[in-house]
Amino acid sequence: MNIIILGAGRVGESVAESLVSEQNDITVIDMDPARLRSLEERIDLRGVVGNGIQPSVLREAGAKDADMVIACAANDETNLVVCKVAHDIFNVPSTIARLRSPEFIEGDELLGKNGFAVDHVICPEESVMRYLHQLISYPEALQVLEFADGRASLIAIRATHGGALVGHTIGEFRERFPHAEMRVVALYRLDTEMEATKTTRILAGDEVFVLADTKKIRYVLGAIHNIDEPVKRIMIAGGGKVGLRLARSLQGQCQVKIIERYKARCEYLASQLPSSMLILNGDGADEDLLLEESVGEMDMFLALTSDDEDNIMSAMLAKRMGANRVMALINRRAYADMMQGSTIDIAISPSQTVIGELLTHLRRGDVAAVHSLRRGAAEALEGIARGDVKTSKLVGRKVEELKLPKGVRIGAIVRGEGNKSEVLMPHHDIVIETDDHIIMFIPNKRLVREVEKLFQVGATFFG
C-alpha cells in the first residue's frame, strides 16, 4: 500500500517503522528536516518537508496515488484538516487521524465524509489507559488483550517459582486442571520462542501466552499462577493526559494517589477528580516523598510522566522501597526492551499500544482485530471465516486440515453472537463454520500476508 504519514514524532516514527517492515511504500511529512533525515537514514521511506495541510505538500508526497493517510501530528486541528484535504482534493480512499479530544468520536457525523472525512480515530492516551486498566484488573499478567468483542482474551504470564506451571509440561498442566480450558499459543525463554507442545516443560522465568474464554480468565489465572490480592492501593507518578484518564477510570475501584511536579497541573487535577483521590505536588523520584506517602504499602506504582528517564528512576526507586508491582511508561523502544522484566515489572511503550489499532485497518481479508506482541515482533490476529467450502480456505474444514504457514497457531474459535456465543479450543476435529471468529498467533510478521489470504473469499462468493 502507498501510505502517507503526517508527523515524524514518536507515534509517527513507530507507525512508519512498523508499516515499512510489511513492504508498504511510506512517505512521511514533517516540518523538521533534521528529523526526517534521521528517519530516512534508518528506515526505508521517503521524507517530505512541509506543512501537511497544504495541498501542494500532499501532492509532493504522492497523495494522488495514496491508499491511506495517517495524520498523527501533535495537534488535533492539523490532523482533521489534513484528512479533509486528502479526501476532498485527492480522493484518498482511507484516512486515519490521531485525536486527543474526547469530543471527536469515530462514526460521528462531524467526522463523516461531509465533515472532516476521518474514517478512523486513534488516541494513544486512551489506548494506553485501557491497556493499563487491564493490567490493574489482572495484576498477575504481563499483557491482557481482548478479541471478539471481549469474549476471548490473550494473556501473557511470567512463570514463577511455586506456580502450577513451573516444572511441568503443558500436557501435565491440562491433566491437573481439566476445567481450566485454555490454549498455550506461544512460549518464550530468554527472548527466544520455544516450541509449545504438550511435552514442552515450563521453567521459571518463561513468558507464556495463553488464550481462553474471558469468563474463565480468573479461574485459568488461579490455576497457572499464585494469584495476587486485588489491587486496592495505587500510586501514579505523573498527572498528564494518561495519568488523568487512568485516575478517572479507577474511581470507586481503589485508593489512588497522584504525584505531579507542576502546581498548576495539580490544581487542574484536583478540579477534575473526586476529593477521595490525593493529589501531591512533588517529584515521583523524591525518596523522602515516596517514604512519607508509604510507597512500600502500594499494590501498584505507575510512572506515567512524559520523561522516560524520570519514569525509569521513579519506578526502580518505588520497587526498591517495597511497592508490590511497578510499571513505567517508556517511549524509546530500546529503553523499553532493556527494562522489561528487570526491576521494573512491565515497561509500556505508548506507540506499540496503538500499532494494533492501525494494523487492523491495513490487514487484507476479513480481519476484525490485530494486536502487536513482543514489542512488534509477533502478532495476534482475529479473522472472520466467510464464504463456503468452495470459496473459502477455512470454512467446512477441520482444524487439522487447515494449511497454516509454519509456526502459525490457532488459539481459539469464537462461534455465535452475544449471549449465545461460545469460545472453542481448536481441537483437531473441530470444523470451521461460516462467521467463526478465528484467533491466530503469528510468530513472525513476515507470515502476515499468508495468514491474510486465508480470510479472503474466492471470486465466486456473493454473500
For residue range 129-188, list pLDDT tens digits in order: 999 999 999 888 888 999 998 999 999 988 888 777 888 899 888 888 787 788 999 999
Q: Are residues 12 and 110 in the same domain?
A: yes
Q: Say if 425 falls within a structural domain.
A: yes
Q: Which of 224, 241, 271 is the last residue of a domain?
A: 224
pLDDT of residue 323: 96
Q: Rounded to whole angstroms, how far apart are CA atoms 294 and 288?
A: 10
Number of domains in the chain: 4
Report the chain's C-alpha Rg in angstroms: 23
Q: Which residue range forms the structural domain that includes residue 176?
A: 140-224
108, 197: one domain: no
pLDDT at 191 over 90: no
Nearest to 70, CA basis, from 17, 7, 23: 7
Same domain, 342 and 360: no
pLDDT given at position 40: 93
Using a 10 angstrom Cβ sphere, with 0-12 exposed, 13-18 middle and 19 or more buried, the burial of residue 327 is: buried
Note the pLDDT of residue 458. Answer: 74
Same domain (yes/no): 266, 241: yes
Average pLDDT, the chain: 90
365 pLDDT above the threshold of 70: no
Q: How confident is the model at residue 209 (pLDDT cuts 50, 70, 90)?
A: very high
Tell me if 356 sits within 8 A of 415, measured CB to CB.
no
- The pLDDT assigned to 370 comes to 85
Do 273 and 311 belong together in one domain?
Answer: yes
Q: With a cut of 70, say whether residue 340 has pLDDT above it.
A: no
Looking at the fold, whether 109 and 192 belong to one and the same domain comes out as: no
Q: Are residues 53 and 107 in the same domain?
A: yes
Q: Are residues 324 and 413 in the same domain?
A: no
Helix-strand-coil percent breakdown of the chain, rounded to 5? 35, 25, 40
**Residue 368 — very low, low, confident or very high, per pLDDT cuts 50/70/90?**
confident
Cα gap 211→355, rounded to integer Å: 21
pLDDT at site 86: 97
Q: Where a domain ends, among 316, 348, 380? A: 348
304 with 365, same domain?
no
Nine-digit cell string for 366: 476479513
User: Of 391, 392, 439, 381, which Cα lies nearest the Cα of 415?
Assistant: 439
**CATH number of the domain enclosing 161:** 3.30.70.1450
Encode pLDDT of 259-281 as tens digits.
Answer: 999 999 999 999 999 999 999 99
Same domain assignment for residues 9 and 114 = yes
Whether residues 377 and 403 fall in one domain: yes
pLDDT-derived band at 461 (thresholds 50, 70, 90) equals very low
Please tell me the distance from the alpha carbon of residue 119 to that of residue 124, in angstroms, as a whole number: 17
Pairwise pLDDT comparison (106 vs 89), residue with the higher score:
89
171 and 272 part of one domain? no
**What is the per-residue pLDDT for 462?**
45
Contact 353, 341 (CB under 8 A): no
User: Which of the listed residues 122, 154, 184 is the one where a domain comes to its end?
Assistant: 122
What cell does 275 get? 476529593
Say if 186 falls within a structural domain. yes
* Pick from 31-45, 199-213, 228-242, 447-461: least confident: 447-461
Average pLDDT over residues 78-88: 97
Mean pLDDT is lowest, of 191-195, 246-250, 296-300, 437-441, for: 191-195
- At residue 341, the pLDDT reads 63
pLDDT of residue 460: 52
The three grid cell numbers given for residue 267, joined into one nine-digit string: 490544581
CA 339 to chain centre: 18
pLDDT at 459: 54
Is 320 part of any domain?
yes
Distance CA 160, CA 142 (A): 13
Look at residue 190 in the predicted model and tell me its pLDDT: 85
Q: Do the domain assignments include residue 459?
A: no
Would you say residue 463 has pLDDT above 60? no
- For residues 324-347, give the mean pLDDT: 82
Here the CATH number for the domain that contains residue 301 is: 3.40.50.720
